[in-house]
A and B are shown apart, each in its own frame.
Chain A
Amino acid sequence: MRRWTIALGLALAALLSSAAAGALTLQRGNGPEPDSLDPQRAQGLSAQQVLRDLFEGLMRDDADGQLVPGAAQRVAVDAGGLRYVFTLRADGRYADGSKVTAADFVYSFERALDPATAAPSAAMLAPIAGAAQRLRGESAPLGVRAIDEHTLEIRLDAPRSDFLRRLALPIAMPVQRGAIEAHGSGFTRPGRLIGNGAYVLKQWTPQAWLELERNPHYRNAATVAIDSVRFHVTEDASSELKRFEAGELHLTETLPPGQLARLRAAHAAELVVAPAYATFYLGYNLRNPKLDSAALREALSLAIDREILVKHITGNGELPAYALIPEVAAGAPQMAAAGWTPRQRQQRARQLYLGAGFDPDEPLLIELRYNTSLANRRLGLAVAAMWQEVLGIDTRLRNEEWKVFVQTRRAGVITEVFRGGWFADYADPLNFLEPFTVGNTLNAVGYADPRFDALVARAAASAGADREQALHGAEQRLLDADALIPLFHYSSKHLVSRKLCGFHAHPLDHHPSEFLRFCEASR
């Protein structure tokens, strides 16, 4: 009996000794399970967050979120923006100590553009000469060439003002040919996945966590403060919050909805909420005759009080949106109504609605389609109530499971008004505008305006003030046409432990672990 009691006591003691033993491991929430750690195949945001720790592209974001050369030491652009020459860093090393060479980049780009690789975001590299043909399975010469071990040349078909930004994406990160030929799709396992980033993959338990440890061969290894990082799969934001509050996480991926007020009170010093480079909007299916009337579209847009939406419906630090692209500089285009009072907007909405010949006694029935989620449903109900109150319009809410929704939305046959939203892939207005050009598979609105397309093309090909002007012109045309209803700009929101220093809000929510460190006091 005595022995049993002792055994039980020991077991209990083992049980209660908290898991916080490895205190110097950074524990960060990372959202859903990464879909892949193959840079060319990964698609999800959670995978990309890990990949930015494991690999470094020719270009990258620095600690302040500015685009800087990464694996490249410098880049020279000539021939009117058609030829890029990258000089790779002499000290660029993979985690196994081998050199990062220009040939690795040639191989990686070729791999990304091979249809057999089935890289979902291969289109990001389409500006490269020959890339479009390669993606179609034709054997065209590709405009990527290793001049010598440390010099890489990339030629484009046409100048692209956002090309360097695209080279910071995972699709353009270097992989080793040997590892892929030896292990196939299994090359991403711990021990096999060899990158040139600040960290190297040590352990991977699918659906639970990934553990990374410092890459001793990383070119900037001396500045990396944290030795090991654990990315936890946190699918449920409420659970993630509890883990943070229990001291198991130093950094959360997001915040659960509707808790901001409480968190502001309880975790004021740990809360980091900032505008994100992302917009939530409602799109009109312009191919649907029901929405032909520009006055109706404008009236629907004006009838929605965005301040109420962000304050009472979403309530997680979002900003009301009167433009597609989140405000960066003064002078960016906005809807004319941005400066009006809610009352003025409502009056104008009614005026437009009646002026367009709609009869308040025979209310219009509009369908609002969104992908199934509680947040979208709440938002849909609020919008429907506003349309009802201001214009007397009846709204039918339709929800569809995500995979069905994206298909319906793209087909554009039965849709009327639908949920749209965009998280920029990289920090460039072009990334917001291109989805509205003719022939773009993301153009669910069915917007077709040759002058808009021409302005976008001009912005893509030019630089400086000319580019700025073209971007503004294009966005203004899109807003003036009332092709969509911008509702709000998303926020990036995190809880950051007081033990963790070096965390800055980033509009794209990129937070490489190498820029984080444990504060002196907690060490």
Chain B
Amino acid sequence: MTASPRGSGLVAAPRVRFARTDRARGPLPCPFAGIRRRGAAPNGGDDAMNLLRHLALRLITTLATLFGLLVICLALLHAVPGGPFDQEKLAPPEVQAALAARYRLDQPFWVQVGDYVAAATRGDLGPSFQYSDYSVQELIAAAAPITLTLGALAVLLSLSLAVPLACWLATRRRGLQLASLASLLALALPKFVLAPLLVLLFALTLGWLPAAGFAWDAPQTFVLPVLSLALPQFAVLLRALSENLRAALDSPPAIAAAARGYSQARVVWRHALPLALTQTLGFLGPVLIALLSGSAIVEMVFGIPGLGRYLVSAALNRDYTLLIGAVLTVALIVACVNLVIDLLQYLIDPRVRN
């Protein structure tokens, strides 16, 4: 045992495993490295089978969820009062009938569901009701990459701010309280207040950045939306990371490292942070979901042609096809993100595998 007797005596089984790999690897008790070595252990075949089974199960549940969502969405849209063609100026009955036929609303409910599934498997999500010049897949194909890019940038930004700050705070006496306070303040500023404030400061007062608009070839249009999206996520991550870091600093590897006389910074960055990050990984799922579902406000304020807006406007316009398409796309993205996070955890953390 290279770890201190006190540590190995107090911790639970997985942490003992740490200690063993530490010995196998040498004097550096790095949890990441140790876990990766376990991944290459001789029982890798079983792991692969487990993984495949896990993936297959995931695929089935995802498809079932999507189907359930489709049925629920369509049923809700049919159930709410007010249809897609209820306008102030009512079109003549024959025109309404032609519209209903074009969007297959004259068919029985389950035929509509069946038709939708059949068309969707061919990649056809139908024509939009509100924007009749476009098919839903065209609208989503244009909007989803924007929302995803901004969301990913926001996650990266919030991580790159939260990680150093959390590490710095971890070495301070009242670090945890400070982190809570900071995240509370950041959370207390809703996006519909934050975004206009940012515009006021950076676009109107300083004139550095555009007030709104979006273009792929104009990165300056990304800055304010990403900032507005990132701040609340930064708050969530900072808090989660700080708490996990605190716990990690009390864990045997960190205590062992500290006992060996490594500097405080090294203990935090090399020993505690990797452990805290693996635990924080679980938070990334909800963070990404919040980014997708909460993007509507930011997209509205900055005039960004993203997916979040469709979730709101399509529901209000009773744009059946666009709403279902957007909901299913978001659901699919969420499922994929969760799957990736699961896989990462699976690769990193041996406890998940068993």
Contact = CB atoms under 8 A, between A and B. Distances in A.
A227 interface: no
A115 interface: yes
Contacts of A208: 213-215, 303-305
B133 interface: yes
Contacts of A206: 131, 134, 139, 142-143, 305
Interface in B85-136: 86-92, 94-95, 97-99, 102, 127, 130-134
A243 B213 contact: yes
B288 to A, nearest CB: 22
A239 B211 contact: yes
Interface bin, chain A: 35 or more
Interface in A405-450: 405-408, 410, 441-442
B86 to A, nearest CB: 5
A66 interface: no
A522 interface: no
Given A116-B98, A136-B94, A242-B211, A35 B220 contact: no
Contact of A186 (B133, B213, B218, B303): B133
A25 to B, nearest CB: 13
Interface in A222-240: 232-236, 238-239
A35 B86 contact: no
Contacts of B164: none
Interface in B207-257: 207-215, 218-221, 223
Interface stretch (B48-56, B197-205, B272-280): B197-205
Given A403-B82, A406-B86, A246 B203 contact: yes
A298 interface: no
B140 to A, nearest CB: 10
Interface stretch (A10-18, A267-275, A322-330, A455-463): A10-18
Given A206-B305, A239-B300, A441-B89, A407 B94 contact: no
Contact of B303 (A14, A43, A232, A441): A232
A155 interface: no
Nearest to A135: B92
Contacts of B14: none
B320 interface: no
A120 B133 contact: no
A232 B300 CA distance: 13
Given A122-B92, A208-B303, A208-B304, A242 B132 contact: no
A233 B95 contact: no
B305 A15 contact: no
A234 B303 contact: yes
A370 to B, nearest CB: 13
B219 A14 contact: yes
A407 B211 contact: no
Contacts of B26: none
Given A239-B212, A243-B213, A404-B81, A122 B91 contact: yes
Contact of B99 (A18, A118, A235, A236): A118
A243 B305 contact: no
Contacts of B130: 35
A118 B143 contact: no
A424 to B, nearest CB: 12
B309 A207 contact: yes
Contact of A442 (B89, B139, B305): B89
Contact of A243 (B142, B212, B317): B212
B18 interface: no
B86 A236 contact: no
23 contacts: A11-B219, A14-B219, A19-B221, A115-B97, A119-B91, A121-B89, A185-B132, A206-B131, A207-B304, A232-B303, A233-B305, A235-B300, A236-B301, A239-B199, A239-B303, A242-B200, A242-B204, A243-B211, A243-B213, A248-B213, A401-B316, A404-B80, A441-B89
